[in-house]
Structure 1
Amino acid sequence: MRINHNIAALNTYNRLFINSASSSNSLQKLSSGLQINKAGDDAAGLAISEKMRGQIRGLDQAAKNSQDGISLIQTAEGALSETHSILQRMRELAVQASNDTNTLDDRAAMQKELTELTSEITRIGNNTEFNTKKIINGDMTGPGLGAAQEKITLNFDTGFTLAVAHADVKFKIGGEEYTLKFDEAANAGAAGMAVDSSNKTVTVGIKDVVNQIGTDLAAVLNNLAGALPSSNLAQFDISSTATSISLTAKSTGDFAGADGKNSVSLSSGLLAEKFSEDVVGSDGAGGEAKMQIGANTNQQFTVAIADMRALANLKISGTTAGGNHDVAGAKFTSVALTDNSGSAEYALDISDAGKATAAISVLDNAIKAVSEERSKLGAYQNRLEHTINNLGTSSENLTAAESRIRDVDMAKEMMEFTKTNILSQAATAMLAQANQQPQQVLKLLQ
């Protein structure tokens, strides 16, 4: 018998320590409901489940984003519903004014009401907001397109020298900073200019023009009061001779209106005797909003809402008193609207039967435009509702998968805890017995 090392007690102690640790681990799992509370519990499972958690939270937030998108659409659609009602009343007035049983005073009263209703449509378009963002005036988000007849004027003259590689010049379009770049890599036949509001650049391709023109080039950008959305880049072709360069638009560009004018001069390593061209913009379109409807990148949904004011897509007001409308016979009044922003606008003229009859066609087109926009918004809403349902299903299934990895089986773990707890109690009792064994040596010494 040995007394320096109580091997039985040491072995019992080790078993007690192991059982106590297992019991403590089971208690932690049972109290948290999680099978993985720390990386040591399951390193691979932790990594997989955390990735799943990121996806689940992303899906849940995407569902919230979609709900917000529906709220925005409902706000816009509600405003257009009222616009619809106003247009129906305006058409009713035009039909009434077409009847020659009315006196001049009768038509004057009808004209006054129609003019006020036109002002109200513009006011609704200007003031309808969601989360402080105007949504049916054409500039809901981003570089929306706007006023017609904006210009970009490019003038190339002699007398300026700057290496092409250093010819990047910054200027502002609608308050945003852009960079003008010369692209030497472009082929001569494909040389052109691209305006990209996404990357904030205006790029001009000039390869081989160096050999044809010379060694100096200067450009002046005047009346630069517009921008293009990245989804609708303006493309232009450049052709050149020994004495001139011409710029031709492939198609009519759309440019957004902006207050003020910008003028920038720059020079590159080319020589041109003359280069001058105006690019004129056409009527603008609406802005766009990007809805993040997925948990990952490149999972966006674009909501585009047109400018639904009287002067824009509805085309029931004009900027020239007594001017012609594009519908034959329709005229605008000589009295400016009571509610306008910026330059004066004028309502449709229904002062006589002929003008009132022509106004009916204009109002029919306006009603059709609102109907089309509301139908589009309804389609957006239906799509987002299905998106929300799909996101909910995906989140549910992914949560179930994550639960199988991360959550503890309570029944199984309770069984494990009971076992380790009993073993710990048994080990404690046996340790007491093992500690008593060395005392038997004392009997040998008596």
Structure 2
Amino acid sequence: MIINHNLMANNALRNMNINSNNAANAMQKLSSGLRINSAADDAAGLAISEKMRGQINGLNQASSNAQDGISLVQTAEGALNETTSILQRMRTLSVQSSNDTATDDDRKAMQTEVGQLKSEIDRIANTTQFNTKTLLNGNLAAGTVAQGTKLASVNTTIGATATGGDAVGFDSYSFSSDMTLSTNLGDITIAKGNYTESDLATAITNAAKAAGGKTTLAVTFASNILTVTDGAGVGTALSINSGAVTVSANDTALNDYVNGGISAGTVDNTNAAANADQGKNALEVKSGSDTLTVSTGNVAAQTVNVADGVYSGAQLAKAINTGIANNAQLKGNATATFNAATNKLTMASTDDSSITVKDDGASTLSQTAGYTTSADLTATDTTTALLTNLEDGDKNVFGLKAGSVITINGNINGSAVTPKTLTVTDTSTVADLAQSVASALNLATSSVSIDAKEGTINIVGQDGTANAISDVKLTADDGTADKNPLTLFNNKFSSMNETQQAQDTHVDSSLVFQIGANEGQTMKVDINKMDVEALSLSSVDISTQQGAETATSVIDNATAAVSSERAKLGAFQNRLEHTINNLGTSSENLTSAESRIRDVDMAAEMSEYSKNNILSQAAQAMLAQANTQPQQVLQLLR
């Protein structure tokens, strides 16, 4: 037995300390609720847990960010809702002003309200803010890089009409119903539709061949002259009959006749229906080739003078009557009448005697009951239409006169071009306007075209950012010192429909919402400029009946633009709401995973604590017993 070292006591003490430490650790876990209270508890688990906590906190903040984003979007959309209400009121006023029960003073009062409404649209655009950020002034617009250029005008009929008229020279022809030609091969039919001179010649050729004509047959049609040949140059393959007149191959005396391009002795289309589009078709008179002579039973052939220009059917009849009235021999002996319902122009003598109508060098048709031609063969020569005769699809004249000044503005690669002006003369044509637009935009003349059927100006440029054309605007004034604007023209040309490839080039100012826990997990939200200029409302003027009518379509376009922007903002809001739902789910699942790593299992840890506590008490008892062992040595020393 030894007394210097009480090994049993040391062993009991060691175990007691272990048990006490284990019990203390268990008590710490039970009191904190955490399995990992320090890195020593689980070094790897602590690292994983802290990374998860970072993700969870990031997801929770991203959800909050998305909520803030929704609030911003709702602010912008709410402001645009009021802009829509303003536009609806403006449209109501324009429709009210269009009604001729309103006086000029009434319209001026309505325009005063429109002016205030436009100012309010600007105020909303420039003052709507969220956390000091202005939302609708273009500061938050998306960046764009133009890759091409193509612009189209809106609601503009270029192939308009003038005053007066005679024989016509056309670039294109149209039939409102199938046309029948009486030929030596029998009746042949040309399908209704639109034709160029070349297309019409081809259609006649194919129809004649199908009816039994020679395979070498060829019909050509150029400069309003029809020529028929076969491969050998002998004109026996086809003849086209009209009444008592027969026109055979190689007969070049076939200039177009009045009202719609019916060629005397060329086309028998008495079975064709009237053309419902007569008011939109232009008839062109060319000096030198179109001279009308009229004779009756009482009057020898007289020349009826009609000025060069582009005319409708009604204006053609009016011009012919003016020419007859100015002729001393014909005055009171002949009359031209245009029937809009049937689209036919009739010429008759007042004494019902035979009347002869002749185009210089052409065949002659005589009719005792008067000369009548159908207007089914019609056309529009858009390049030679006079600017002073332009009108919209509702026949409202644009108001361009000699001395009017058209100003052309636009951007190339985001920079404004030097404005180009065109001073209108009595002879200025659509082709002159196209050339001026091309010049202003540094384009070839061929890059600017007129589509009479659609009533549009099309501008096509080169690909690439450096050549990007945008914000093209045409405005006109009366050319006086006051520069009084031509409201109808300006309304029609106040905005151009840009294609996707022809947007402005500018820096991206979109908002970036952090909607994820990590770098790059963002969402862009852009809000376009929504002021009067951006909505092309600057030229809206309802102080006149004509201006009010055209303003309605301009306001409709603006309303559509605002509605489109609101729809985009609504889509952003919906996306953010889905984002919030997803962030919540991710945060919940990560929290669950982190809890399993970091949180203590209270039941298991309580069992562990109870075990260690009991062991600690047992160790204390054994330590007491071990401490009594040295007392036994005293018995040996007695």
TM-score range for the pair, normalised by the shorter chain length: 0.5 to 0.7
In the alignment, which residue of structure 2 is the partner of 1:70?
70
1:424–1:293 distance in 2 versus 1, CA, 3 Å: same
In the alignment, which residue of structure 1 is the partner of 2:123?
123
Which of 297, 302, 320 is the equivalent residue of 2:519? 297
Deviations 1:166-216 (A, max 9, x none): xxxxxxxxxxxxxxxxxxxxxxxxxxxxxxxxxxxxxxxxxxxxxxxxxxx
In the alignment, which residue of structure 2 is the partner of 1:356?
548
Q: What pairs with 1:392-403 in structure 2 (closer than 5 Å)? A: 392-403=584-595
CA distance in 2, matches of 1:290, 1:125: 21
CA distance in 2, matches of 1:77, 1:392: 25
Contact 1:142 1:288 in 2 (8 A): yes
In the alignment, which residue of structure 2 is the partner of 1:316?
537
Which of 610, 617, 625 is the equivalent residue of 1:433? 625
CA distance in 2, matches of 1:148, 1:25: 78
Contact 2:12 2:623 in 1 (8 A): yes
1:127–1:282 distance in 2 versus 1, CA, 3 Å: same
**Bigger Cα displacement from structure 2, 106-115 vs 136-145:** 136-145
CA distance in 1, matches of 2:24, 2:141: 56
Deviation (angstroms), 1:428: 1.2
Contact 1:287 1:305 in 2 (8 A): no
CA distance in 2, matches of 1:138, 1:390: 31
Deviations 1:25-73 (A, max 9, x none): 1111111111111111111111111111111111111111111110010
In the alignment, which residue of structure 2 is the partner of 1:252?
468
Deviation (angstroms), 1:140: 2.8
Question: Which residue identity lines up with residue 316 of structure 1 in the other structure?
Answer: L
Deviation (angstroms), 1:430: 1.5
Deviation (angstroms), 1:251: 3.5
Deviations 1:123-167 (A, max 9, x none): 00000000100011110389899x9746499xxxxxxxxxxxxxx
1:358–1:141 distance in 2 versus 1, CA, 3 Å: closer
Contact 1:286 1:307 in 2 (8 A): no
Deviation (angstroms), 1:432: 1.2
C-alpha RMSD of the superposition: 2.6
**Do structure 1's residue 375 and structure 2's residue 567 form an aligned pair?**
yes
In the alignment, which residue of structure 1 is the partner of 2:95?
95
CA distance in 2, matches of 1:390, 1:443: 81
Contact 1:286 1:306 in 2 (8 A): no
**SS of equivalent to 1:315:** coil
Contact 2:143 2:505 in 1 (8 A): no
Contact 2:94 2:551 in 1 (8 A): yes
In the alignment, which residue of structure 2 is the partner of 1:244?
none
Identity %: 61
**SS of equivalent to 1:408:** coil
CA distance in 2, matches of 1:28, 1:400: 22
Deviation (angstroms), 1:423: 1.1
Question: Which residue identity lines up with residue 8 of structure 1 in the other structure?
Answer: M
Deviations 1:342-401 (A, max 9, x none): xxxxxx110111100000000000110111111111111111101100110011001101
- In structure 2, runs of 5+ residues without a counterpart are 146-408, 418-461, 472-502
1:125–1:305 distance in 2 versus 1, CA, 3 Å: same
Which of 371, 375, 389 is the equivalent residue of 2:581? 389
CA distance in 2, matches of 1:311, 1:356: 19
Deviation (angstroms), 1:117: 0.4
Q: What pairs with 1:16-415 in structure 2 (closer than 5 Å)? A: 16-140=16-140, 149=411, 151=415, 250-252=466-468, 282=504, 287-312=509-534, 314-317=535-538, 332=539, 348-415=540-607
**SS of equivalent to 1:305:** coil
- In structure 1, runs of 5+ residues without a counterpart are 154-235, 238-247, 256-280, 318-331, 333-347
CA distance in 2, matches of 1:137, 1:144: 17
CA distance in 1, matches of 2:508, 2:141: 9
CA distance in 1, matches of 2:636, 2:536: 118
1:425–1:131 distance in 2 versus 1, CA, 3 Å: same
CA distance in 1, matches of 2:508, 2:119: 20
Deviations 1:278-329 (A, max 9, x none): xxx95869841011111112211110111011111x1111xxxxxxxxxxxx
TM-score, scaled to structure 1: 0.63
CA distance in 1, matches of 2:470, 2:20: 76
CA distance in 2, matches of 1:151, 1:74: 33
Question: Which residue identity lines up with residue 529 of structure 2 in the other structure?
Answer: D
1:373–1:11 distance in 2 versus 1, CA, 3 Å: same
Question: Which residue identity lines up with residue 537 of structure 2 in the other structure?
Answer: I
1:254–1:136 distance in 2 versus 1, CA, 3 Å: same
**SS of equivalent to 1:290:** strand
**SS of equivalent to 2:512:** strand
Deviations 1:196-251 (A, max 9, x none): xxxxxxxxxxxxxxxxxxxxxxxxxxxxxxxxxxxxxxxx99xxxxxxxxxx8544
Question: Which residue identity lines up with residue 293 of structure 1 in the other structure?
Answer: I
Question: Which residue identity lines up with residue 50 of structure 2 in the other structure?
Answer: E
CA distance in 2, matches of 1:371, 1:300: 26
**Do structure 1's residue 423 and structure 2's residue 615 form an aligned pair?**
yes
Which stretches of structure 1, 4 residues or longer, exceed 3 Å deviation after superposition?
141-145, 147-153, 248-251, 281-287
In the alignment, which residue of structure 1 is the partner of 2:7?
7
Deviation (angstroms), 1:81: 0.4
**SS of equivalent to 1:302:** strand
Higher-Rg structure is 2
Contact 1:286 1:305 in 2 (8 A): no
TM-score, scaled to structure 2: 0.45
CA distance in 2, matches of 1:426, 1:370: 83
1:434–1:359 distance in 2 versus 1, CA, 3 Å: same
In the alignment, which residue of structure 2 is the partner of 1:169?
none
CA distance in 2, matches of 1:300, 1:12: 63
CA distance in 2, matches of 1:84, 1:417: 70
Question: Which residue identity lines up with residue 433 of structure 1 in the other structure?
Answer: Q
Deviations 1:63-116 (A, max 9, x none): 111111100100000000000100000000000000111111111110110100
Question: Which residue identity lines up with residue 607 of structure 2 in the other structure?
Answer: M
CA distance in 1, matches of 2:81, 2:507: 21
1:47–1:254 distance in 2 versus 1, CA, 3 Å: farther
Question: Which residue identity lines up with residue 54 of structure 1 in the other structure?
Answer: G
